[in-house]
A and B are shown apart, each in its own frame.
Chain A
Amino acid sequence: QSVLTQPPSASGTPGQRVTFSCSGSSSNIGNRYVYWYQQLPGTAPKLLIYRNDQRPSGVPERFSGSKSGTSASLAVSGLRPEDEGDYHCAAWDDSLSAVIFGGGTRLTVL
């Protein structure tokens, strides 16, 4: 069981807005930056959001991140079929002295 908790699945229809949650504690999300990764089928993870809410160059504005207390969220608006895949959150954990990942949420675009 991951230290960062993510729901195993989410779904939406094209054009909808979907939100992914990532729940942690004061030893990780509460005092550290959160990062979000998109992993499309058969590929390596790709950085979507860094430092809680910053988008790397090339990531569309319809992807946005936020953090509040010991939880973080990733929102995807204007859902597209090509968004289907796994979404992972990550953060440093001060107690474990390691980068930790959530278990990932699998997005299905109906």
Chain B
Amino acid sequence: QVQLQESGPGLVRPWETLSLTCSVSGVSVNIGSYYWNWIRQSPEKGLEWLGYIYYSGSTTYNPSFKSRLTVSLDMSRNQFSLNLKSVTAADTAMYFCARSYSYGHFDFWGQGTLVTVSS
């Protein structure tokens, strides 16, 4: 069955880069039917969609994060990753990776990983 698992540091210093990886099993990220997304959740902002990458490598980002966000794909490891630059305390959140068929149609999610931005 399809499974996604986030990994990465739980603590990031302010103004540094937050880097997370999503390991995918049960399906290849190299299939053209799906989009590979990052979503985060905080008590203040609720659920926020950050962006996605397609198997071709093309990306679509939420304009609110576009200047700081990079999502990349590693087909050899069946993973995709998130890099969010210049983080502040406002970036403290639970980060989820998720598969989607189309905009908003997230059918499989990782369990989430909590990232705290603090010195």
Contact = CB atoms under 8 A, between A and B. Distances in A.
Given A43-B111, A88-B47, A103-B46, A97 B63 contact: yes
Contacts of B111: 43-44
A53 to B, nearest CB: 13
A100 B63 CA distance: 12
A32 B109 CA distance: 22
A90 interface: yes
B106 A47 contact: yes
A97 B49 CA distance: 11
Q: Report the contact-size class of chain B (Cβ under 8 Å from the partner).
A: 10 to 19
B104 A33 contact: yes
Interface in B73-102: 96, 102
Contact of B106 (A33, A34, A37, A102): A37
Contact of A104 (B46, B64, B102): B46
A99 B46 contact: no
A45 B46 contact: no
B48 A101 contact: yes
A89 to B, nearest CB: 9
**Residue from A47, A92, A96, A104 with most neighbouring chain B CB atoms (10 Å):** A47
Interface of B: 46-49, 62-64, 96, 102-107, 109-112
Given A44-B110, A45-B47, A99-B103, 10 more contacts: A33-B103, A37-B106, A44-B109, A46-B109, A47-B105, A90-B104, A91-B104, A92-B103, A92-B104, A104-B46
30 contacts: A33-B103, A34-B104, A35-B105, A35-B106, A37-B106, A44-B96, A44-B109, A44-B110, A44-B111, A45-B47, A45-B96, A45-B106, A45-B109, A47-B105, A47-B106, A47-B107, A51-B105, A90-B47, A90-B49, A90-B106, A91-B104, A92-B104, A98-B49, A98-B63, A98-B64, A100-B49, A101-B46, A102-B46, A103-B46, A104-B47
